[in-house]
Amino acid sequence: MPVAGRANAAVEQLLARMAKLTASAVTVVQGASNRSKLVEFAGLTGGELRHRLRLNE
C-alpha cells in the first residue's frame, strides 16, 4: 500500500538533484494524488532550468 506523499517527495528530490537545487526549492503544486504533476522550481528562470535539465540539447 502506498504511503501518502512518499512518491511526491521522491519526485521532488530527484528533480532537485537533476536541477542542482536543494530539495526545498522543488515542490509538487498540482497532481499530488495523480500521475500527472505540476512542479514548481524556486530560484531559477525557465531558461536556467532547461539548461540544468539539458532540455535545450
Domain that holds residue 34: 6-52
48 lies in a domain?
yes
43 lies in a domain?
yes
Domain count, the chain: 1
38 lies in a domain?
yes
pTM for the model = 0.82
Under the banding of pLDDT at 50, 70 and 90, the label for residue 55 is: confident
The pLDDT of residue 30 is 94
Residue 39 has pLDDT above 80, yes or no: yes
Under the banding of pLDDT at 50, 70 and 90, the label for residue 4 is: low
Grid coordinates representing 35 are 500521475
Q: What is the signed CA dihedral for 24, 29, 34, 37, rounded to 10 degrees? A: -80
CB 19 within 8 A of CB 26: yes
